[in-house]
Chain A
Amino acid sequence: MSKQKLVVIGAGMASGRVLEHLTDAAPDAFDITLFNAEPRGNYNRIMLSPVLSGDQAYTDIVTHDEAWYADRDITCRFGERVLEIDRDAKVVVGENGHVSYDKLIFGTGSDPFMIPLPGHDLDGVIAYRDLEDTERMMGLQAGQKCVVIGGGLLGLEAAAGMAARGVEVTVVHIMGHLMERQLDEAAGYLLRKSLEDKGITICLQANSKEITGENGHVKALMLDDGTELPCDLLVMAVGIRPSVALAKEAGLAVGRGIHVDDQMGTSDADICAVGECVEHDGAIFGLVAPLYDQAKVLARSLLGQEARFVQKSLSTKLKVTGCDLFSAGDFADGEGREDIVLRDPARGIYKRLVIEGNKLVGAVMYGDTADGNWFFQMIKDGTDIDEMRETLIFGPAYQGGDTSDPLSAVAALPLDAEICGCNGVCKGTIVEAIAGGAGDLGAVRASTKASASCGTCTGLVEQLLQVTLGDDFQLPTAQPVCGCTDHTHEDVRRLIKTMPLKSQEAVWQELGWKTRNGCHVCRPAINFYLLADWPLDYQDDPQSRFINERKHANIQKDGTFSVVPRMWGGITNPSELRAIADAADKYNVPTVKVTGGQRIDLLGVKGEDLPGIWSDLNRAGLVSGHAYSKGLRTVKTCVGTDHCRFGTQDSTGLGIKLEKALWGSWTPHKVKLGVSGCPRNCAEATCKDVGIVCVDSGYQVSVGGAAGMDVKETEKLCDVASEQEALDVTIAFVQLYRENAKYLDRAYKWIAKVGLDWVQDRIADPAERARLIVAFELSQSIYRKDPWAEHATHQAERYQPLADLTLEAAE
């Protein structure tokens, strides 16, 4: 049998899915031609928001690349519009010629609706629909202004994405609360609050009147109450309209969308339609889940198999980090309907269930949406909830189950429970795929499509892997910080910067910490992230520091401490040595040791003697050597040109300058430096976090060395000609490490994660280098000081016992 000629108009998510099903099920049945007006193939349009906010790159969301089309022998005519369709001749006429068809699929999608306000055709007035729009928004610089008209799903994702980039965003919404189609007022209020906390201005019940411009470019949006909202870009995200012009011209039956039957057939037996361009039983479609259902039905119909599209109730999630909301079903008030409401204002949690008869018909949740899918399943199944009404709102953990462990919750789900809403994948399909050899998330995605679209069910899929494979399943490296939270270090760092969060309480509250105030694992990490990102706003919390950093000395196994004064670049003099000797005598220091970092260590000092020994050392001009800190430890140097016959540069001088610039700074883990005056490398610089080797032509700066549990040689960061540049590059590197690394990752571990190339690019960029240096200096304006002097003067009594009852007890 010769192949049937299939022509597809539009390479969107729905038609793309049709092609996948068709070419998987019957690779040789059709000779396929694909038209697309956009000059590219299919990408995951719903993931444009993470691209906008910078969480993903465009390449991450391409679902079909050139190779995919080539593999399936699909003739691509991208960037070419279809001009008309001659149904009698069964021919599609494109800009570059015509092609005949046996079967034709309309996947023309939808057009964003543009409100015909005066000025809507100005440059800088855009919709939020495709990659070009996303790129326009990404082109805005921090501090520029943007107005978004529309407080629905899309508008808010656009607003949050731009706000995360530092753009000043105002959302203008005509209704009384945000996302009114998915949320009730209370949840809308909480959403508004958290968006405002992100710096987004929200205007509700606001009627746009006109868009004003200057030299043909948008300048401001005027509201009918006279408010003027200046902007560099105006985004209209007020809805979509099925794109039907071509179908109408071709004489197909068209209402709001192209009329289709349950098999996705149009009024012409050889023409089908799928996706956002269709109207089925009076409804049009904007969310991805029903589109994928349609795609499956259409593919089966084209292959002569039986299939029927049925509209289902939908659930919604917003892809804005930190705004956790969920809604499903019908939650309007009405006769015979009852509400169950749970509010926890302190934690910003709101849950509302709408019950009709003995059935759950709607659910709205904000702040804690973990049980969303469980409720959604009940709505779809029409479960009788009479028995569990009292405890229903507390979720599955309280329904007689013995544990709130998420794993047992997943294990308890029936096989037909839907896991991936976007792709309509149920638990049974995933379990089957795992049994068939899909051993990790990627493999499950590839074989079932579960979690391959919006990704919110990734956690569930991983739990299924865990339940099904048991110990054979290794959770991917994205580990939470500790048991207090599900967030990874990377997430927490990002959210502290973007939300922004400027106190530990804010982190615990806004990121849903499960404990009252953290634990010994997360507290030091969060304390560091906050002080590194917000040096002026956040005050260092000594109670969140490990004892060594709280008492500025290293605790020893017997509870005594070691004291290491700073010796800049490893240089000292007789009067300092005398002061150290005197202090060692006075405080009965049992052991005096020279360290590997060219310092003198006084070991065995009693905790209560610390302020005393510090004041004595301070008097001789000695300050804390920070031998205890996740911060700059030492800069080891050789004697350089002063004395050595091989020295090429003043390595000792550079070492001292580096130490004076960097001391007191806090970093994710300890930072050690070395500066050698020639390639003989007497300062052992090439196993330090930053090592500088002086050569005749200047300075070789290398990074990422270590000589601890791992021994690593440094890798070259860059070569520079002048001492000032060597200083600049080192400071910029340390700041980059401070801003980005996970707490307790030494520099080499961090570099292995982000890549040396990335580090080199950032440091090489003059603007970025300058920014890093300024940011470091700002932080050092607070932290470049001697903690010993401060504690000896102001907090000495904290080092003494609270009270002494030895005498009383003896009496």
Chain B
Amino acid sequence: MSWVDIGAVEAVPERGARVLKTAMGCVAVFRTGPEEVFAVSDTCPHKAGPLSEGIVHGQSVTCPLHNWVFDLNTGEAQGEDASIATYPVRVEAGRILVDARALAARSAA
């Protein structure tokens, strides 16, 4: 693991998301509770909708384009045979940390 600080947890609105730019495209960082964050691919496998712009509910997000719903824990789409990549992320002392190695592995995949 190689944890990288990407910002303060308050920078992401609760029940909202921000985008993290990587060499291989955007990762969406979701905040579902005060200290509860998830990092997943920002791209809906259906029609490439930006998931970070979706409505966040529970630990799920609804794609803004055609309402596909993804579980942020597993990345699985509800009722569809599709999923998005999920990445290790945690909150420590009010900062959001992502695993840069996992993100890099993404580009290798």
Contacts and interface: CB of A to CB of B under 8 A. Distances in A.
Contacts of B26: 801
B12 interface: yes
Nearest to B22: A805
B62 interface: yes
Given A547-B64, A557-B47, A808 B100 contact: yes
Interface in B13-29: 13-16, 18-24, 26, 29
Interface string A597-608: 000000000010
A517 B57 contact: yes
Contact of B64 (A555, A801, A809, A810): A555
Given A551-B53, A803-B6, A805-B4, A520 B69 contact: yes
Interface string B40-63: 000000011110011111101010
Given A524-B55, A543-B55, A519 B21 contact: no
Interface residues of A, number: 32
A518 interface: yes
A559 B15 CA distance: 20
A549 to B, nearest CB: 11
Contacts of B67: 520
B82 interface: no
B101 to A, nearest CB: 10
Given A520-B69, A808-B4, A802 B11 contact: yes
Contacts of A519: 55, 57-58, 60, 62, 69
A529 to B, nearest CB: 16
Contact of A802 (B12, B23, B54, B103): B12
A519 B61 CA distance: 9
Given A543-B56, A544-B55, A806 B21 contact: yes
A807 B102 CA distance: 16
Interface residues of B, number: 39
B7 interface: yes
Contact of A809 (B11, B23, B60): B23
A523 B13 CA distance: 16
Interface in A503-524: 515-520, 523-524
Given A806-B21, A808-B4, A523 B54 contact: no
Nearest to A555: B64
A542 B31 CA distance: 14
B100 A543 contact: no
Contacts of A803: 6-7, 20-21
A578 interface: no
A509 to B, nearest CB: 15
A543 B6 contact: no
Contact of A805 (B16, B18, B60, B100): B100
A546 B53 CA distance: 8
10 contacts: A517-B15, A555-B65, A559-B49, A797-B11, A801-B19, A802-B7, A802-B12, A802-B20, A805-B100, A806-B21
Given A802-B20, A805-B22, A808-B100, 13 more contacts: A520-B55, A520-B62, A558-B48, A798-B13, A798-B18, A802-B96, A803-B6, A803-B7, A805-B23, A806-B21, A806-B23, A809-B107, A810-B23
Cβ-closest 7 pairs across A and B: A802-B18, A520-B62, A809-B23, A803-B6, A543-B15, A520-B55, A547-B53
